[in-house]
């Protein structure tokens, strides 16, 4: 059984129906295996052929937000992911200063942020000895 690596730039990945009706989860940007902003998933080569045929008109496939290079080495996928890193998914954050055409910024946001910055922030002490050691190291102690 040959596998290929799939890159998926959707924030939480996606679950697709496979050839036998099984769920195939493609990892998104929220996984620990990420290259160039794309979550990486190993998928059987024949299953990928089925998925790419069935979902060829699906926008993330058409825009290359979900792609493969047909290989199983991460280094090969990383180079393509770097080239596609600017591919929009529609899940990008909104700039509060320039939200979208026809919308105006909410000035109260700046006021809320200014007030919030003046308030003391509560801190939570690290619970475990390892967390305490890491916190001390970060603090330079």
Q: What pTM, to 2 d.p., does this model score?
A: 0.63
The answer to whether the beta carbons of residues 68 and 45 sit under 8 Å apart is no
Q: Provide the pLDDT for residue 49.
A: 93
Q: How confident is the model at residue 133 (pLDDT cuts 50, 70, 90)?
A: low
Closest to 55 (Cα-Cα) out of 39, 74, 71, 68: 68
pLDDT digits (tens, 9 = 90+) for 45-98: 999 999 999 999 999 999 889 988 877 677 777 878 878 888 878 887 777 777
- Compute the C-alpha angle 40/95/36, nearest 5°: 20
pLDDT digits (tens, 9 = 90+) for 29-51: 888 778 888 888 889 999 999 99
SS3 115: helix
């Amino acid at each position: 059984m040959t596998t290929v690596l799939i890159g998926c730039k959707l924030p939480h990945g996606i679950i697709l129906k496979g050839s036998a009706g099984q769920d195939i989860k493609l990892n998104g940007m929220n996984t620990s295996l990420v290259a160039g902003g794309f979550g990486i998933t190993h998928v059987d080569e024949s299953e990928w052929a089925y998925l790419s045929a069935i979902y060829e008109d699906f926008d993330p496939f058409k825009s290359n937000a979900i792609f493969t290079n047909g290989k199983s080495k991460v280094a090969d996928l990383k180079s393509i992911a770097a080239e596609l890193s600017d591919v929009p998914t529609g899940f990008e954050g909104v700039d509060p200063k320039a939200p979208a055409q026809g919308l105006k910024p909410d000035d109260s946001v700046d006021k809320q942020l200014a007030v919030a910055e003046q308030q003391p922030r509560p801190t939570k002490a690290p619970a475990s000895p390892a967390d305490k050691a890491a916190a001390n190291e970060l603090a330079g102690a």
